[in-house]
Structure formats: structure tokens, C-alpha cells
């Protein structure tokens, strides 16, 4: 079983990676035509919402312990899966 610290580190690494991908989308959106720009903006709004949810769960992991940590981890895994499906 993965430790709390290892899990948090792995999730922070993924969050940083996804943040970089969001920034790349922003750059593409800035240079896109109006129809494409609208699609990028819609996607970016969804990604930002998912990123905020993931960051909130990382903060919850900071204070969770034992059984509570396992519950937070399960919820967090669902959020990550949801985020990945959008990203």
C-alpha cells in the first residue's frame, strides 16, 4: 500500500504536469481563431474546476490520517480519473 507522503508527492507531480498542459492550452487559445478559441476556453474552464478540486483534496490529505486518509485517497482517485478524462 502506498504511504500518505508518497501518494501526496505523486499527486502533486501530476498536478504540476497538468498545470503545464493547461498553460499550453492557454497559449493555443490565444492564437486560435474565434470558434476554436471558444472551444479552448470552455475546455480550460472545465480543467480549472477539476484542478481546484484536486488541489483541495491534496490539502485534505495533509490533515487526514488512518482510515480517514484511505477515504480521502479513494475520493481523490475518483477526482483524478475524472480530471484525466477531461485533460
- CB-based burial of residue 80 (10 Å sphere; 0-12 exposed, 13-18 middle, 19+ buried)? buried
Chain segment 19-64, per-residue pLDDT in tens? 888 888 888 888 888 888 888 888 888 888 888 887 887 777 777 6
pTM: 0.58
- CA 43, CA 67: separation in Å to the nearest integer? 35
Contact 28, 46 (CB under 8 A): no
- CA 36, CA 14: separation in Å to the nearest integer? 27
Amino acid at each position: 500500500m502506498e504511504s500518505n507522503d508518497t501518494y501526496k508527492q505523486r499527486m502533486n507531480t501530476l498536478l504540476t504536469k497538468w498545470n503545464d498542459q493547461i498553460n499550453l492550452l492557454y497559449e493555443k487559445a490565444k492564437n486560435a481563431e474565434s470558434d476554436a478559441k471558444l472551444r479552448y476556453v470552455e475546455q480550460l474552464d472545465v480543467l480549472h474546476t477539476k484542478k481546484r478540486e484536486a488541489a483541495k483534496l491534496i490539502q485534505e490529505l495533509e490533515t487526514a490520517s488512518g482510515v480517514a486518509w484511505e477515504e480521502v485517497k479513494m475520493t481523490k482517485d475518483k477526482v483524478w480519473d475524472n480530471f484525466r478524462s477531461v485533460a
